[in-house]
Amino acid sequence: MASFWGSREMNILVVAAHPDDEVLGCGATIARLAQEGHAVSILILGEGITSRYAHREDADVTSIAALHARARGVCAHLGARDVALAGLPDNRFDSVPLLEIVKIVEAHVGRVRPEVVFTQHGGDLNVDHECTYRAVLTATRPLSGCPVRQLYAFEVGSSTEWAFQQFRPVFHPNLFVDVTDTLDRKLTAMQMYEGEARSFPHPRSSEALRAQAVRWGAVAGLSAAEAFVLVREIR
């Protein structure tokens, strides 16, 4: 499996809305990129899980801390360099002015100076994904001096497909990454997020994730693939 991302070591940034979205969306690609020598940073915008409580403040501080510890464990497991957590309110990004989310991402882009960015798909059912997408598009707009050359959107099981193509944009992938060698690493990463894995046929179960990777593989002439939308590239 030759490296298609070139021989130079690159800075790569993954911007996810919630802990586990980075795994569901591009966990196997992160592992492959790390193996190929690239430096992958992860930024998670939301705090995770508080939306399961009637009031946000009811969420157990210990549970949140444990979730964040798992995020760091997953980061190490995938071979990424670091993970940052920004703490936006779970499933309530629509209550935050978009401008604030933009500023968080801009600051992070300024620090990491990534050539490649992966982020949530904007047409998802989950409103946090939509806000994340729009914020990343804004924070990485192609001003002279912006380091970002490639921006990709990833899908997330139980959110992208459950939009049933009703929102804009629709997930029509045009990049298929061969993850034959790193798919298992993604599936074990998902199990590390205990609270988030589900039993089949839930789209986040191991069986469903494997079927999804095999299906995308077949679309691209590969044994297993993750699929992405190229939003823009500058060469």
Closer residue to a copy of itself in complex, CB, 86/127: 127
Compute the least distance from the CB of residue 133 to a copy of itself, in Å.
8
Closer residue to a copy of itself in complex, CB, 65/218: 218
Compute the least distance from the CB of residue 73 to a copy of itself, in Å.
26
The site for a copy of itself (CB under 8 A) is made up of 4-7, 51, 91-92, 94-95, 97-99, 122, 125, 127, 133-134, 137-138, 141-146, 149, 157-158, 161-170, 172, 174-178, 200-203, 205, 207-208, 210-212, 214-215, 217-223, 230-235
Compute the least distance from the CB of residue 60 to a copy of itself, in Å.
19
Is the alpha carbon torsion for 68, 73, 76, 77 positive or negative?
A: negative
Compute the least distance from the CB of residue 179 to a copy of itself, in Å.
10
Closer residue to a copy of itself in complex, CB, 58/97: 97
Closer residue to a copy of itself in complex, CB, 95/191: 95
Cα→Cα distances 97→19, 44, 94, 101, 178, Å: 21, 18, 7, 7, 37
Q: How far is Cα 213 from Cα 68, in angstroms, rounded to an integer? A: 27
Closer residue to a copy of itself in complex, CB, 34/83: 34
Residue 225 · residue 26 · CB < 8 Å: no
Closer residue to a copy of itself in complex, CB, 59/83: 59
Which residues, including other chains, have CB under 8 Å from residue 6's CB and lie 6 or more apart? Answer: none
Q: How far is Cα 101 from Cα 138, in angstroms, rounded to an integer? A: 10
Rounded to the nearest angstrom, the gap between the alpha carbon of residue 192 and the centroid of all alpha carbons in its chain is 16
Compute the least distance from the CB of residue 13 to a copy of itself, in Å.
18
Compute the least distance from the CB of residue 50 to a copy of itself, in Å.
10
Q: How far is Cα 153 from Cα 136, in angstroms, rounded to an integer? A: 10
Residue 132 · residue 166 · CB < 8 Å: no
